[in-house]
Chains A and B, each alone.
Chain A
Amino acid sequence: MKPRQKRIALIAGGLASLAVAAMLTLNALDSNIALYVTPTEVAAGKAPQGKAFRIGGLVKEGSIKRQDMTVRFIITDTAKEIPVAYTGILPDLFRDGKGAVVQGRLGSDGVFAATEVLAKHDENYMPPEAKHAIDQAQKGKP
């Protein structure tokens, strides 16, 4: 092999082994990279015990109840539900039926005491008229 070909082979081999190493590392770190757990995972006991963590899901429709400065709502992944209590300012996009990520601790009464509530929006962008049309069409479905 000419020195040039040798160098190319060396670079290609180096990159390939690096990719494999990165893949294995990411695989091992999988659960730590996730920003939040789902209510189903909490119900299955996969949530960290005795320390703060995040739950992500949808705000159950009609579950938002305000009482003085405290907001109570239910976060769901449509399979399991977890009641949440939070005192503080909510982001603008925090709405009924939309995504949210809450950070806090799970109390012994089963209520998640949140210290931070983040809104998660989806990747769809459309004008209000189009959104209205889609909502109407979905309502029309049986």
Chain B
Amino acid sequence: MRQSIIHWFKFASPQSFYPLAGRMIPWFWAATAAFGIAGLWISFFVAPTDAQQGEGYRIIFVHVPASWMSMFIYLVMAFWAGLGLALNTRVSGMMAQALAPTGALMAALSLWTGALWGKPMWGAWWVWDARLTSELILFFLYLGFMALQAAIDDPRRADKAGAILALVGVVNIPIIYFSVKWWNTLHQGSTINLTKAPSMAQTMLWGMLLMALCFWMYSIAVALTRVRAIILERERHTEWVKHAVE
């Protein structure tokens, strides 16, 4: 029993996680490029014009993956933050810190492409409807998490304070996701559901899923690169970092 626990926590030490992350990063970049090229090609050349919205709907291929990522990264960030809070593992806090800027980027991208899409289709850049407002709150949660972490000098205390904020903010994620179901909103309901077939032409769906995979791979690659930088910064006093940098 004792043996297996030690094995599990092996990669929870910054020293062994640092080279592992370094070896994985190029593969994730390669996957980002592959999924991105295939996804963009389908998005622009294969997917048909939409009957209602014409060519303008194609912004969906960036908007939906960005929105999904903004919500999912938050869940992953909160998971790491909670794990760090409960088990006092060092890499957990660093992972949460590394994910936040990418999550904020995705939320900003989602809001920005949404505005660009809303103006021609709805007739408004912005509406205070439940979906849009809760996504804006998500963006602010990311910024708040980053600001709070940066404001506290001691990294362990910064991690703890950030973790509590991240965990409290989790409440917002189901609100974003179900907002179009629970309330009257201008934003339309979800096209992709777990319970029924997607109400979307097959090739459009493929384009969207490939773009979503591209965004996944990008987020992982960037988060791992960032976590390596954070590890070096926080462990700069240790022997192994001095050797690793040389």
Contact = CB atoms under 8 A, between A and B. Distances in A.
B135 to A, nearest CB: 14
Given A8-B86, A11-B82, A34-B184, A127 B122 contact: no
Contact of B188 (A91, A122, A128): A122
A120 B190 contact: no
Contacts of A4: 86-88
B122 A34 contact: no
A125 B60 contact: yes
Interface string A1-34: 0001001100100110011001000100010011
Interface in A44-73: 56
Given A4-B86, A119-B122, A124 B186 contact: no
B183 A18 contact: no
Which among A38, A126, A128, A131 has the highest number of chain B CB atoms within 10 Å?
A126
Given A4-B87, A120-B122, A93 B52 contact: yes
A35 B57 contact: no
A90 interface: yes
Interface residues of B, number: 40
B185 A35 contact: yes
Given A93-B53, A130-B51, A124 B200 contact: yes
B123 A118 contact: yes
B121 A125 contact: no
Contacts of B151: none
A141 interface: no
B199 A118 contact: no
A125 B200 contact: yes
Contact of B175 (A26, A91, A120, A125): A26
B189 A123 contact: yes
A121 B130 CA distance: 16
**B interface secondary structure, majority:** loop
Contacts of B184: 34-38, 56
Given A93-B122, A126-B50, A35 B128 contact: yes
B121 A7 contact: no
B52 to A, nearest CB: 6
A41 to B, nearest CB: 10
Given A37-B184, A89-B123, A127-B49, 8 more contacts: A35-B183, A94-B123, A118-B186, A119-B122, A121-B121, A125-B52, A125-B200, A128-B48
Interface of B: 48-53, 57, 60, 82, 85-88, 120-124, 127-130, 167-168, 170-171, 175, 182-186, 188-191, 199-201, 204
22 contacts: A4-B86, A11-B86, A14-B167, A18-B171, A26-B175, A34-B130, A37-B184, A56-B186, A93-B121, A117-B123, A121-B52, A123-B190, A123-B191, A123-B199, A125-B50, A125-B52, A125-B57, A125-B191, A125-B199, A126-B201, A127-B201, A128-B49
For the complex of A and B, the 9 pairs showing the least CB-CB separation, nearest first, are A91-B123, A131-B51, A127-B48, A34-B184, A35-B129, A123-B188, A124-B199, A128-B51, A22-B171
